[in-house]
Amino acid sequence: MTSRLRRRPLGWPRRLARLVLIVLALVFLLLFLVLPLTTVFIEAFRQGVGAFVEAIRQPEALSAMRLTLLVATIAVPLNVVFGVAAAWAMTRFQFRGKAFLGALIDLPFSVSPVISGLIYVLMFGAQGWFGPWLERHDIKIIFAVPGLVLATVFITLPFVARELIPLMESQGSEEEEAARVLGASGWQMFFRVTLPNIRWALLYGVLLCNARAMGEFGAVSVVSGHIRGLTTTMPLEVEMRYNEYDYVGAFAVASLLALLALLTLGIKTLMEWRYGDELATHAPGGH
């Protein structure tokens, strides 16, 4: 009965409705997503390739790129180690307060980026909890690189853990138990069984974590102090140039970030097509 219904050809009102819906959705996607993305590149090259190259070769732009790379290189591995540890504890053992731990891991996604920066200013800023002590020992955290790293770590904390937890939950621990029973040491089991099983999901988490770490603006802006050449990451450099009416310069740096976003989307989509079964079916995370 159902198969007969399914084979029934669609009448023209249904086909028209279908066409209208498709066109509406595509027009929205083009106007709302594709157009802003295109604008970034068009504005970046508005005054030609020469001006673009000039804009991204300025020392402030180069130091912003170096700083963005540095911050991501510290923050991402920290959250990878945390993500693996948290996922191992959450999926392989039963303990009290597990749900609370899960909620705590997700928390940074529902906190405003500005508040994520603010909390570290309240801890380490001049009038913060540890401010006077830090000042006496001449340690700078706020308006310096450590503050940028802390804010980035907070913002990107959930990404790896959130990819790994549902996957490891669904994989179960039989293989790991077998390895142990056959005499593998804890680390042998981890590197030979656990890690190969989760590698694609781990890479996927790293990809998203890195994209957010390099692109974060709000949290980093609060702790940065906007000291040119010292504490301005690429997104902050974009802001400063834009506010100085250097539009070509702002969009030139922005186009590099947009390129990173496109690259991330491309790799992410490829991974979903190729290794879909080895990635957890995940709810969308805030990014």
Partner 1 sequence: MSILRQRVLPGFGLSLGYALTYLSLIVLLPLAALAWKAVGMGASGWLQLLSAPRTLAALRLSLGGAVLAASINAVIGLLVGWVLVRYRFPGRRVFDALVDLPFALPTAVAGIALTTLYAPQGWLGRWLEPLGIQVAYTPLGVLVAMVFVGFPFVVRTLQPVLASLERDVEEAAESLGARRWQTFFRVILPLLAPTLLTGFALALARAVGEYGSVIFIAGNIPGRSEIAPLLIVQKLEQFDYAGAAALGAAMLLLSFVLLVLVALLQRWSQRWAESSR
Q: By CB under 8 A, name the one of 16, 53, 115, 230 that touches partner 1.
A: 115
Residue 244 is a binding residue for partner 1 (CB under 8 A): no
Q: How far is the CB of 249 from partner 1 (least distance, A)?
A: 11
Given the rule CB under 8 A, which of 36-44, 47-55, 59-67, 195-203 is the region that contacts partner 1? 36-44
Residues 180-199, interacting with partner 1 (CB under 8 A): 180-181, 186, 189-190
CB nearer to partner 1: pick between 57 and 98: 98
Q: Residue 200 region, left (φ>0) first, then alpha (ψ -120 to 50), else beta?
A: alpha
101 touches partner 1 by CB under 8 A: yes
Tell which residue, 277, 263, 275, 246, has the closest CA to residue 52.
246
CA distances from 88 to 84, 105, 153, 158, 179 (A): 6, 14, 20, 14, 16
Nearer Cβ to partner 1 (137/281): 281
- Pick the closest to residue 169 from 247, 86, 229 (CA basis): 86
Q: Under the criterion CB under 8 A, does residue 112 sit at the interface with partner 1? A: yes
Q: How far apart are CA 153 and CA 144, in angstroms?
A: 15
**Closest approach of Cβ 82 to partner 1, in Å?**
5
Q: What is the CA radius of gyration of the chain?
A: 24
Cβ-Cβ contacts under 8 Å for 63 (sequence gap 6 or more): 229, 230, 232
Q: Which amino acid is at 282?
A: H
- Find the shortest distance in angstroms from Cβ 62 to partner 1: 18
Nearer to partner 1, 200 or 233 (CB): 233
Pick the closer one to partner 1 by CB: 200 or 239: 239
CA geometry: angle 238, 80, 209, nearest 5 deg: 30
Contact between 287 and partner 1 per CB under 8 A: yes
67 lies in the binding site for partner 1 (CB under 8 A): no
Tell me the C-alpha to C-alpha distance, in Å, between residue 137 and each of 140, 198, 245. 9, 43, 40
Residues 132-171 that bind partner 1 (CB under 8 A): 150, 153-154, 157
249 binds partner 1 (CB under 8 A): no
Contact residue for partner 1 among 64, 148, 216, 232 (CB under 8 A):
216
**Interface with partner 1 in residues 224-243 (CB under 8 A):** 234-236, 238-239, 242
Q: Which stretch binds partner 1 (CB under 8 A): 48-56, 58-66, 92-100, 163-171?
A: 92-100
Q: Which two tokens stand for residue 132?
A: 């006077």
